[in-house]
Amino acid sequence: MAWEVFSIIGTIAFAISGAIIAMEEEYDLFGVYILGIVTAFGGGAIRNLLIGLPVTTLWGQDMMFQIALAAITIFFIFPHHLIQHWHRWGNFTDAIGLSAFAIQGALYAVKLDMPVSAVVVAAVLTGSGGGIVRDLLARRKPLVLRDEVYGVWAALAGLLIGFEVFTGDIFLYILFAVITALRILSYTMKWRLPLRKLNRA
C-alpha cells in the first residue's frame, strides 16, 4: 500500500516541479509537458537501468502517466496570479517528490532483495534522478550536485529502509514527513555541505 501511495505523491510533486521550472524558463505548452514527464519518471528510469531492470517497465505505469499529465494540466491552467513565490512552490514540491520517490525507490530495491548499498543508490537515484534530468534540460546546475543539502536526505531514507529501521506503513509515512521537513529546513535555513574550490591558474 505504502509503495503505491508514495508513487502517486512523488509523481504529482515532481510533475508539478518540472512544470514550474519549464514555465520559469518560458517554455511553451509542449515543453511544460515534456519537462514535467521527464522529472516525474526520469529517476525511476535511471534506477531501473542501474539495478538491471529494463527501462520499458516504465511503460506499464499507465495510471501514473495519466496522473502526471492531469497534474501538469491542472497546474498549467490554474490562475497564476493566485500563486505567489514561484521559487518557494518549486522547492516545496521538489522536497515532497524527493522524499516520496526516495522511499519508493528504496522499497523497490528491498522488494528485489538488493543489498543495503543498492537500496541507498536506488533511493538517491529515484529521489533525485528526475530532478537532475530536469535541471540539465532547463540548462541549470543540477540541484543535487550543489553544496546545498539535497541527496543526503534521500540516502538517509535509503539507509533507514535498507537496515529495516522503518518497515510498517505508518513508520514509512512518518519517515516521509521527516525527510520532507529536513529538505525544507535545509533550503530555508541555508544548510550547506562542505565545499572546496580550486583556484584557477
For residue 69, give the amino acid letter.
L
What is the pLDDT at residue 86?
A: 56
Higher pLDDT: 160 or 165? It is: 160
Higher pLDDT: 165 or 26? It is: 26
pLDDT for 130 beyond 80: yes
CA dist 102 and 175 (Å) reads 11
Q: CA 128, 129, 135, 141: dihedral to nearest 10 degrees?
A: 70
pLDDT bucket at 158, cuts 50 / 70 / 90: very high
CA dist 49 and 119 (Å) reads 14
4 and 61 in contact (C-beta within 8 Å)? no
Least reliable range by pLDDT among 27-36, 66-75, 82-91: 82-91
pLDDT for 84 beyond 70: no
Of all residues in the chain, the percent with pLDDT exceeding 70 is 91
Helix or strand or coil: residue 26? Answer: coil
CA dist 155 and 186 (Å) reads 15
What is the pLDDT at residue 4?
A: 85
105 and 130 in contact (C-beta within 8 Å)? no
- Give the mean model confidence (pLDDT) for residues 156-177: 90
| All cell numbers assigned to 99 | 522524499
Sign of CA dihedral 13, 144, 31, 66: negative
- Return the half-sphere exposure (C-beta side, CA atoms, 13 A cut-off) of residue 36: 30
Least reliable range by pLDDT among 61-65, 124-128, 143-147, 194-198: 143-147
